[in-house]
Amino acid sequence: MLLRSEFSLETRRRCRDKKNLASTITAFFELPAYFALVISMKFLFPEYMYLTCASVCATIGAVYDLRTRRIPNLLTASSLIFGLLLHLAVGGWKPMGMAALAGLAGGAVFFIFFVIGGMGAGDIKLMAAVACIAGFGHLMEIFVATALMGGVFALVLAISHGRLKATLMNVGALMQHHAMAGLRPHPELHVLNSNTLRLPYATAITAGCWTTLLARTVLR
C-alpha cells in the first residue's frame, strides 16, 4: 500500500509539472499573439494606418537613398497618389484635401533647405509624399521627430568620421553665412560638394515617422 501511495503521489506530481510546463509554453506564445492583436486593432484606426503607411514609404525611400544616393521619382509620385486616394477612401473629399495641403506644406518646408543647399530634391519629394500619406494632423509631430533624429544622425556621422569639431565649425560658418546672405547657398558647404559629409536624410525622415508612430501607440 505504501509503494502504491508513493507511486500515486509521484504520478500526480509529474502531471502537475507537465501542466505547469504547458501553461508556461502557452503563455510564451500567447504574449506575442496579444501584442499582434493590439497592433492590428490599432491599425484599424485611421491615424495609425496613415502613420504606418507613411513610415513604410519613408523606409523604402531610405533604402534607395542609402544604396544609390537617389530617391526614385516613381516612388514619391506613386506615394503621393496613394496618400490622396487613401484619405479619399477612408474619410472623403475633405480629408483628401487636407492630405494634399499636408503634402504641400511638407514639401515647402524642405524646399527652403534645398534652396540653401542643405538637401537634395529627392528629400523634398519624399517628405511631401510622407506628409500627404500621414495627413495634416501628424505633420508637426513628424517635423519635430525628423529634426531631432536628423541632429542625432548628423552627430553620429561626424563622430564616426572623426570630424565632429570640423562639423560644428561648419555649422557656425553656415549660420554666419545665411545671416548675411539670406537663402543664398554657401560657396563650399552644400550638398553637391563631395568633400563634405552627407547624411542620407531619408533615414532621418524614416526615423521621424517611426518615432511618431511609436509615440502615438505607446502614449495613447
pLDDT tens-place string over residues 55-77 = 999 999 999 999 988 899 999 99
Judged against a pLDDT cut of 60, whether residue 31 lies above it is answered with no
Judged against a pLDDT cut of 70, whether residue 35 lies above it is answered with no
In a domain, 147, yes or no: yes
In a domain, 132, yes or no: yes
Q: Place 193 in a pLDDT band, splitting at 50, 70 and 90.
A: low
Q: Is the separation of the CB atoms in 106 and 127 below 8 Å?
A: yes
Does 205 or 160 have the greater pLDDT score? 205
Q: Measured between alpha carbons, how far is 30 from 174 in angstroms, rounded to an integer?
A: 54
pLDDT at 30: 44
Range of the domain at 78: 46-219
In a domain, 176, yes or no: yes
In a domain, 18, yes or no: no
Q: Measured between alpha carbons, how far is 101 from 66 in angstroms, rounded to an integer?
A: 29
Cβ-proximal residues to 64 (8 Å cutoff; 6+ apart), any chain: 70, 71, 72, 75, 202
Q: Measured between alpha carbons, how far is 103 from 126 in angstroms, rounded to an integer?
A: 10
In a domain, 17, yes or no: no
Q: Is the separation of the CB atoms in 171 and 158 below 8 Å?
A: no
Grid cell locating 158: 561626424
Terminal-to-terminal C-alpha distance of the chain: 62
Q: Measured between alpha carbons, how far is 106 from 104 in angstroms, rounded to an integer?
A: 6
Mean local confidence (pLDDT), 172-181: 60
Only one residue has cell 486593432, namely 41
pLDDT at 9: 47
pLDDT at 199: 80
In a domain, 114, yes or no: yes
pLDDT in tens, 113-152: 888 776 788 899 999 999 999 999 899 999 999 999 988 9
Mean local confidence (pLDDT), 190-218: 81
Structural domains of the chain, count: 1
pLDDT at 170: 61
Average model confidence (pLDDT) across the chain: 76
pLDDT at 194: 63
Q: Place 200 in a pLDDT band, splitting at 50, 70 and 90.
A: confident
Judged against a pLDDT cut of 80, whether residue 169 lies above it is answered with no
Judged against a pLDDT cut of 70, whether residue 207 lies above it is answered with yes
Q: Place 90 in a pLDDT band, splitting at 50, 70 and 90.
A: confident
Does 61 or 199 have the greater pLDDT score? 61
Grid cell locating 105: 506644406
In a domain, 21, yes or no: no
pLDDT at 131: 95
In a domain, 7, yes or no: no
